[in-house]
Amino acid sequence: MSDAIWSQLGHQWESLPERLGGHIGLSLASLAVGILISIPLGIWAAKRPRMESAALLLASIIQTIPGLALLALMVFAWGRIGWLPAFIALVLYSILPMLRNTITGIKGIDPNLIEAARGVGMNDRQMLFKVQLPLAAPTMVAGIRTAAVWVVGAATIAQPVGATSLGNYIFVGLQTMNFVALLFGCVMSALLALSLDALLHGMELAVAKHNSRRIGFVLAGLALLAASPWSLRTLDRPGSARQMTANQVTAESDDKPFVIGCKAFTEQYILLDVIAKRLEAAGLVVETKDGMGSATVLSALESGAIDCYVDYTGTIWSNYMKRTEIASAVETRIDVATFLKDEKQILALGTLGFSNDYAFAMRKNHAAELGVETLEDLAALGGELSVGGDIEFFDRPEWKSVQAAYGIDFRQKRSMDSTLMYEAIAHNEVDVIVAFNTEGRLDAYDLAVIDDTKLALPPYDAVLLASARLARNAQAVKALRPLLESISSSTMRKANGLVDVQKQPVSFAADFLLQQVDAKE
């Protein structure tokens, strides 16, 4: 195995205790509450046919909702991100198999046994605890086992709403095309699911045989599994930068860690690492929440769930201020900063120096063949071409602005993960993609950027946003100030290319940017 892969594995191992702990805690807590809801409800509904049908129908409807959609609904319902909405979604997701198996187990008991119990004078409570539950227990545990596997799998997609889990590896690996991170997350998630399934299978057998000693062993195994993330902390690689700085917190630091967030694409992961390293170098304790949704991360900053992240003026302008006119970059920055301070109590510390504008791009040879240089040229041919955009672009105001300015439309519009757009255009699966100005893959895939001559797309200056708490901390502001106006678009494109094209770790690209920043101080 090459040194690069060993280095990558070491980097992934550093965050394993936190992510595994988040995944186990979220899964077991959801499963426990799901049991407390499902089993009593199943016992009660088993004697009431109408309530049984209604309860199973409702649980089935919840189960048909895609996991990510259910998580998003919980974010909107509770108005916050992080552990709570993920927990509620997973509780709801766990109910059906446990409820169904509880009802099946209770109703499947031989009626002659029920009659015999009544014949010896048992009341309903005695019959439940001495006859029905012992006989139905293996079926009920089988339902818990099924729910556990579902919950562990669903917990991997809790990362976009700000809940820490092993899914962080998978989402980051996909966004940065980091095979090691992706495989590491998949393997760890599978091992966790298999371990929990094996323990619950042992519980199922022990309950069926009424073997209390074996039940005790299984419970001990579950306790060890729950405690495993804490034992892994002792195996962390020594001397990691984040571990050392966390132990060197100065007396001036806040007691509560500063939480840094980011969206789900390469540039954001790099900038998150840059911010974290700057704060840690100043002796501050830092936590990170990566790969969050665009709306989620701003809401998290507004609510205080995170303290800092990088956003783009065009995103704030179009999505939150609902401005449709195009203004100069300077005017946009001023209005965005004013809006954030007045409406959301968020402070814009300043811009980083680069602009990550949306950019329509085509293969250079294809653009030359069709004579496409501007979006006006593209509009004339749009009905014959297909376009690929990131997951949210075609629902954003920017797309409506482009349509209004150029009258453009395409034969087919395909939404996909932004990382996959480049392979799609390289293999002629789409003719045009909506890329980003600082993408390192624009050059690597030999793509031509099409001119927006009517300036339909707003400027997307990268701006460092902070909570009032961080802005009041002199150490934090001093540590972050050198980042302002210090990163050019070409430098950011090169940093992105280190990850997306050269397959270097995100930390390597972050160190490259920090070197550029330090050189300007």
Count of Cβ atoms closer than 10 Å to residue 163 Cβ: 27
Average pLDDT over residues 269-289: 93
Average pLDDT over residues 218-235: 80
> How far apart (Å, rounded) are the C-alpha atoms in residues 440 and 509?
12
- Better-predicted residue by pLDDT, 161 or 354: 354
Q: Domain segments of the chain: what residues?
A: 22-235, 252-356+460-520, 358-449
Residue 374 is classified by DSSP as B
Residue 290 is classified by DSSP as E
CATH topology match: 252-356+460-520 vs 358-449: yes
> How far apart (Å, rounded) are the C-alpha atoms in residues 203 and 142?
9
* pLDDT (0 to 100) of residue 245: 39
pLDDT digits (tens, 9 = 90+) for 194-224: 888 898 888 888 888 888 888 888 889 888 8
487: helix, coil or strand? coil
In percent, how much of the chain has pLDDT > 90?
Answer: 33
* pLDDT (0 to 100) of residue 84: 83
Average pLDDT over residues 430-443: 89
- The torsion angles phi and psi of 287, rounded to 5 degrees, stand at -120, 155
Task: For residue 241, give the nearest of 273, 201, 198 by alpha carbon.
Answer: 273
Going by pLDDT thresholds of 50, 70 and 90, the confidence category of residue 74 is confident
pLDDT digits (tens, 9 = 90+) for 265-276: 889 999 999 999
Average pLDDT over residues 31-37: 93
The contacts of residue 294 (CB under 8 Å, 6+ apart) are 263, 315, 319, 392
Q: Identify the weakest region by mean pLDDT among 4-8, 420-424, 454-458, 476-480.
A: 4-8
**Where does 22-235 sit in CATH, by number?**
1.10.3720.10
**Where does 252-356+460-520 sit in CATH, by number?**
3.40.190.10
Q: Can you spell out the DSSP letters for 189-250? A: HHHHHHHHHHHHHHHHHHHHTT-HHHHHHHHHHHHHHHHHHHHHGGGSPTT-HHHHHHT---
pTM: 0.66
8 A C-beta contact, residue 38 and residue 30? no
* pLDDT (0 to 100) of residue 247: 39
The contacts of residue 348 (CB under 8 Å, 6+ apart) are 333, 336, 337, 340, 341, 463, 464, 465, 466
Average pLDDT over residues 243-247: 39
Average pLDDT over residues 361-381: 93
**Where does 358-449 sit in CATH, by number?**
3.40.190.120
pLDDT over threshold 80, residue 382: no
Residue 384 is classified by DSSP as G
Residue with token string 């039940």: 215
Going by pLDDT thresholds of 50, 70 and 90, the confidence category of residue 238 is very low
Average pLDDT over residues 504-512: 91
